[in-house]
A and B are shown apart, each in its own frame.
Chain A
Amino acid sequence: MARYYVAGIDAGSTYTKAALMDDENNLIGTAITMTGVRINQAADKVFEMVLSKTGVSRSDVKFVVGTGYGRFKITFGDTQVTEISCHAKGAHYLFPKTRTVLDMGGQDTKAIRVNEKGEVIDFVMNDKCAAGTGRFIEGAAKALGLELSQVGPISLTSKNPTKISSTCAVFAESEVLEQLAWGHSIEDILYGVHLSIANRTIGLLRRVGIVPEITFTGGVSLNDGMAKALEDLLKMKVNRSPLTMYCGAIGAALFANERLMIKQKVV
Chain B
Amino acid sequence: MTTSSQAAGSKLDYKEFDQARRYQARLVREYYANMYNAIKNGAKVAYAYVMGNPIELLMVFDIVPVYPEVTSLQISYKGGAPELISAAEEFGYSTDCCGYVKMGIGALLKGGDTVIGKIPKPDILFLGYSGCQVYIHWWEQLKYLFKTPVVTVDVPYYRDFNGHVYNHDILYVTKQLEDVVIPKLEEISGKRFDEERLKEIVYYSREAWRYWREALQMGKLVPSPIDAYFEAIYYMSVITLIRGTPEAVEFYKFLVDELRRRYEAGVGPTEREDFRIVFEGVPNYPFFKRFWGLFKRWNARAVASTYPKVAGLVDVGAFRLNPDKPIESLAEYMIHAYCNWNMIYRLRLLERYVEEYKADGVVIHSIKSCRSFSMGHGDLREYFVKERDIPALLIDSDHVDPRYYAEAQLRNRIDAFFEELSIRKGVEV
Partners in one complex: yes
Binds B, one of A43-51, A114-122, A173-181, A237-245: A114-122
User: Chain B's nearest CB lies how many Å from the CB of A263?
Assistant: 10
| Interface-centre pick from B386, B404, B409, B420 (highest chain A CB count, 10 A) | B420
Interface contact A85-B416, CB-CB below 8 Å: yes
Any B CB within 8 A of the CB of A4: no
Any B CB within 8 A of the CB of A207: yes
Task: Give the docked Cα–Cα distance between A88 and B148 (Å).
Answer: 58
The contact string, 1 if C-beta is below 8 Å from chain A, for chain B 353-391, is 000000000000000100000000010001001100001
User: Chain A's nearest CB lies how many Å from the CB of B129?
Assistant: 29
* Residue of B with least CB distance to A69: B408
Binds B, one of A15-23, A54-62, A123-131, A150-158: A123-131
User: Chain A's nearest CB lies how many Å from the CB of B297?
Assistant: 11
User: Chain A's nearest CB lies how many Å from the CB of B380?
Assistant: 12
Q: Which residues of B contact A122 (CB under 8 A)?
A: 385, 391, 420
Task: Give the docked Cα–Cα distance between A119 and B429 (Å).
Answer: 15
Interface contact B412-A124, CB-CB below 8 Å: no
Number of B residues with CB within 8 Å of any CB on chain A: 20
Any B CB within 8 A of the CB of A82: yes
Q: A84-B412, A209-B386, A262-B428 are in contact. Are A124 and B394 (CB under 8 A)?
A: yes
Q: Which residues of B contact A127 (CB under 8 A)?
A: 396, 409
Task: Give the docked Cα–Cα distance between A208 and B385 (Å).
Answer: 8
Task: Give the docked Cα–Cα distance between A21 and B413 (Å).
Answer: 27
Any A CB within 8 A of the CB of B140: no
Interface contact B412-A82, CB-CB below 8 Å: yes
Task: Give the docked Cα–Cα distance between A85 and B394 (Å).
Answer: 17
Interface contact A81-B412, CB-CB below 8 Å: no
The contact string, 1 if C-beta is below 8 Å from chain B, for chain A 75-100, is 00000011111000000000000000
Q: Which residues of A contact B406 (CB under 8 A)?
A: 128
Q: Which residues of A contact B419 (CB under 8 A)?
A: 81-82, 84-85, 120
Task: Give the docked Cα–Cα distance between A170 and B416 (Å).
Answer: 27
A207 interface neighbour in B382, B391, B409, Cβ under 8 Å: B382
The range of chain A's interface size is 10 to 19
* Residue of B with least CB distance to A255: B419
Task: Give the docked Cα–Cα distance between A203 and B83 (Å).
Answer: 38
* Residue of A with least CB distance to B415: A82
* Residue of B with least CB distance to A127: B396
Q: A69-B408, A128-B409 are in contact. Are A84 and B416 (CB under 8 A)?
A: yes
Task: Give the docked Cα–Cα distance between A250 and B172 (Å).
Answer: 65
Task: Give the docked Cα–Cα distance between A128 and B403 (Å).
Answer: 11
Q: Which residues of A contact B385 (CB under 8 A)?
A: 122, 208
Q: Which residues of B contact A121 (CB under 8 A)?
A: 420
B412 interface neighbour in A69, A119, A208, A209, Cβ under 8 Å: A69
Q: A85-B419, A120-B423, A122-B385 are in contact. Are A128 and B428 (CB under 8 A)?
A: no
Task: Give the docked Cα–Cα distance between A83 and B412 (Å).
Answer: 8
Task: Give the docked Cα–Cα distance between A127 and B409 (Å).
Answer: 8
The contact string, 1 if C-beta is below 8 Å from chain A, for chain B 391-429, is 100101000000010101100110110011001000010
User: Chain A's nearest CB lies how many Å from the CB of B353?
Assistant: 20
Interface contact B404-A85, CB-CB below 8 Å: no
Task: Give the docked Cα–Cα distance between A121 and B391 (Å).
Answer: 8
Q: Which residues of A contact B386 (CB under 8 A)?
A: 209
Interface contact B404-A128, CB-CB below 8 Å: yes
Task: Give the docked Cα–Cα distance between A265 and B46 (Å).
Answer: 65
10 contacts between A and B (CB under 8 A): A83-B412, A84-B416, A84-B419, A85-B416, A120-B423, A121-B420, A127-B396, A128-B396, A207-B378, A208-B385
Q: A85-B420, A120-B419, A122-B420 are in contact. List 14 more A-B contacts (CB 8 A).
A: A81-B419, A82-B416, A84-B412, A84-B413, A84-B416, A85-B416, A119-B423, A120-B423, A121-B420, A122-B385, A123-B416, A123-B420, A125-B413, A128-B404
B interface residue numbers (CB < 8 A to A): 368, 378, 382, 385-386, 391, 394, 396, 404, 406, 408-409, 412-413, 415-416, 419-420, 423, 428
The 9 closest A-B pairs by CB, nearest first: A84-B416, A82-B416, A120-B420, A85-B419, A82-B415, A119-B423, A122-B385, A82-B412, A69-B408
